[in-house]
């Protein structure tokens, strides 16, 4: 956590508030269009209801695990990024593009393995955006505003989940346009964010991180001491899998 006092203008606070809310709204809407509505129907059309239900449980388990790994990985990578665009911006924009394209491809592919791989790639792209955005809270947001910004993100995900389900239902009988809509929403989430919030300063002249690959691997070890802020959200994410999701994943191995 950054202990240096950060000061930003009132205009910047407004821009950050809008960008955090819209960012979460866009990616969650795009994801829910597919995950909650179109993907289950697409799988049902391909292999029937029974097989589709089993496969969907496995996909949820595998992609949730991939998401946990990707979040740690890309947060670490963005910390080490040195570019004229800053540490976070390249990953946020690139992640949206990767996530959006792979989300769209899930509606075009007709092979269950290919759909699963595309879904995992989508989770990597999504977390390529989310991890740097979360890191921005400590990089650029004052201590007294971090809770507010987190609340804007939570509100965006809540609204996006409902909105995505409603939009997805409109495309249940014409799925390809729905997958395209989902891909576009996720794809523009990162671009919108870096355009609306104040431009990130260049990180090109920041001192490079001297620690190597071993330090990256060590960063995947969960914290034990002073980790009250880490475990509650992590446990909530694991609960997203549900019992059936974990049982389905266990059945694979």
Q: What is the pLDDT of residues 235-246, one digit of tens each?
A: 555 444 444 444
Domain-embedded: residue 7:
no
Q: What is the CATH number of the domain that holds 155?
A: 1.20.1250.20
Domain-embedded: residue 223:
no
Domain-embedded: residue 41:
yes
Domain-embedded: residue 5:
no
Q: What integer pLDDT is reported at residue 250 of this predicted model?
A: 44
Residue 230 banded pLDDT, cuts 50, 70, 90: low
| Neighbour count for residue 149 (Cβ, 10 Å) | 22
Q: What is the pLDDT of residues 90-107, one digit of tens each?
A: 999 999 999 999 999 999
Structure tokens of 78? 């963005």
Beta strands in 48-197 (DSSP E): none
Higher-pLDDT residue of 229, 42: 42
For the ranges 4-18, 172-186, 215-229, the lowest mean pLDDT is seen at: 215-229
DSSP string, 66-101: HHHHHHHHHHHHHHT---TT-SSHHHHHHHHHHHHH
Q: What integer pLDDT is reported at residue 107 of this predicted model?
A: 93
Domain-embedded: residue 88:
yes
Q: What integer pLDDT is reported at residue 208 of this predicted model?
A: 74
Task: Show the domain range for 162.
Answer: 17-199+228-252
Domain-embedded: residue 207:
no
How many angstroms separate the Cα of 115 from the Cα of each of 20, 43, 138, 225? 30, 9, 36, 40
Q: What pTM was computed for the model?
A: 0.81
Task: Please name which of 120, 105, 132 lies closest in space to residue 67, comparing C-alpha atoms.
Answer: 120
Domain-embedded: residue 151:
yes
Q: Angle 33-38-43 (CA atoms, 0-180°, nearest 5)?
A: 150
Question: Among positive and negative, which fits the CA dihedral 158, 160, 165, 170?
Answer: positive
Total tally of structural domains belonging to the chain: 1
Q: What is the pLDDT of residues 36-88, one digit of tens each?
A: 999 999 999 999 988 888 888 888 888 888 888 888 888 888 888 889 999 99
Domain-embedded: residue 9:
no
């Amino acid at each position: 956590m950054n202990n240096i006092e950060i000061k930003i203008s009132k205009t910047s606070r407004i821009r950050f508030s809008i960008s955090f809310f819209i960012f979460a709204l866009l990616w969650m809407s795009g994801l829910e269009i597919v995950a909650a509505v179109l993907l289950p129907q697409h799988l049902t059309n391909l292999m029937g209801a029974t097989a589709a239900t089993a496969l969907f449980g496995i996909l949820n388990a595998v992609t949730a695990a991939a998401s946990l790994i990707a979040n740690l990985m890309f947060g670490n990578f963005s910390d080490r990024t040195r570019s004229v665009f800053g540490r976070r911006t390249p990953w946020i924009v690139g992640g949206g593009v990767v996530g959006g394209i792979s989300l769209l491809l899930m509606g075009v592919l007709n092979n269950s393995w290919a759909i699963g791989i595309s879904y995992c790639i989508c989770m990597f792209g999504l977390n390529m955006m989310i991890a740097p955005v979360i890191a921005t809270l400590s990089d650029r947001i004052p201590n007294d505003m971090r809770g507010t910004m987190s609340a804007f993100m939570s509100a965006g995900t809540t609204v996006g989940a409902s909105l995505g389900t409603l939009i997805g239902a409109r495309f249940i009988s014409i799925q390809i346009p729905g997958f395209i809509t989902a891909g576009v929403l996720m794809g523009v989430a990162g671009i919108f964010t870096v355009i609306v919030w104040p431009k990130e300063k260049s990180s090109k002249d920041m001192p490079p991180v001297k620690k190597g690959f071993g330090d990256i691997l060590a960063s995947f070890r969960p914290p034990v001491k002073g980790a009250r802020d880490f475990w509650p959200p992590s446990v909530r994410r694991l609960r997203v899998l549900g019992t059936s999701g974990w049982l389905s994943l266990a059945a694979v191995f």
